[in-house]
Chains A and B, each alone.
Chain A
């Protein structure tokens, strides 16, 4: 989003038990949002920032509302998500895996190569990314899910950098500027989120 001018075009509002109340004066629970932006220079490119948990009994309705309003023809979907590395099943111990690492799952109609290896059996994906990919598979929409397995629970630079290979993919490279400087840009974007440690003050 740092590379272009994005305009907010809509949002999906929902509430479930996972939503946190940040407002301490009003006790009613906060609602969570998924915000949709389009690229001003090319409004057919839409980005969705989903920073809330969409519960399993809300996922189908979320899909119908979001995909119901856009045409299925000539649409391509890219999903980015993370999971903890202990979710990854392998014959080695998960402690020995080179986390973070990227895996991909794509629908039948997605013909481009993935930027990383595909997710091997018997691994599976749940939650909203799985709901979106299922929808795309059933309705023959080309879609790819990039899943980063990480060993940290909070946002960190190394995990975000694991997604770098996808910036060179056919669908995303035209959206990103200054790929060689991306590490510096990411560092700047992330310092605003870091909590300063005050153990020694």
Chain B
């Protein structure tokens, strides 16, 4: 459930909700971190749930002493009212059997707060691509029917590739075709629930492998930016993407502590 930081529940009518799926390489979560950090979004509440493994730490977006001691938990909501953007960040994995209840609770909150649309940032295993996908861009989009009505033309003008259908049961020749997102965590479940509840949802994903996924996250936010124009678009500003998006202080030491000098 959503619990506000302050006394009153903020009005999110007409806002665009950006959220990650906990997926391969954690690309969606890294991308949301970049968005919250770059836009300096303010925390407006918590999504308190028994569906995610608990964790706490100090403010992951700290820029100095004065804001480094605010406690953060595993699911928090940030907003930027001037751009009508709200972001949900998920920082831990799902507890067994809790993915479906989470999807239901989340979408019920989305409907209740009158958000205009939801954009899910996700990823899928790059080793599962077919021959055509191997030769094309690694980015894909997916829209629920109610979202298609509004933005299909925009997607066409951006020359984006829609996520292809593949055999539901990969080894069976005459299997039906459906959208599969291996490694995408709850992406498919969220998408299916949104279709049936007529929620306007878009999924933006990248085919990735596990490793240093910071470049993948930068790629995914640039892809999102082509559509939403969160920061100045690429053609007007030729600087490298990593300089235009601000990496949060919590990204330090992603691959562990310093090494003992005696090792060398």
Instruction: Point out residues on A near B: beta carbons under 8 Å.
Output: 56-57, 59-61, 88-96, 105-108, 118-127, 130-131, 133-134, 137-139, 145
Contact = CB atoms under 8 A, between A and B. Distances in A.
A108 B57 contact: no
Nearest to A120: B58
Contact of A134 (B56, B69, B249): B56
Given A93-B260, A127-B54, A122 B95 contact: no
B88 to A, nearest CB: 15
The dominant DSSP class at the B interface is loop
Contacts of A59: 54
A121 B262 CA distance: 26
A130 B58 CA distance: 12
Contacts of B54: 56, 59-60, 126-127, 130-131, 134
Interface in B44-75: 46, 48, 50, 53-60, 62, 68-71, 73-74
Nearest to B75: A134
A92 B258 CA distance: 5
B251 interface: yes
Nearest to A87: B257
Contacts of B262: 95
B71 A107 contact: yes
B256 interface: yes
B249 A88 contact: no
B50 to A, nearest CB: 4
B46 A91 contact: no
B57 A119 contact: yes
A121 B250 CA distance: 6
A137 B58 CA distance: 12
9 contacts: A56-B95, A59-B54, A90-B258, A118-B68, A119-B58, A122-B250, A122-B253, A130-B55, A137-B73
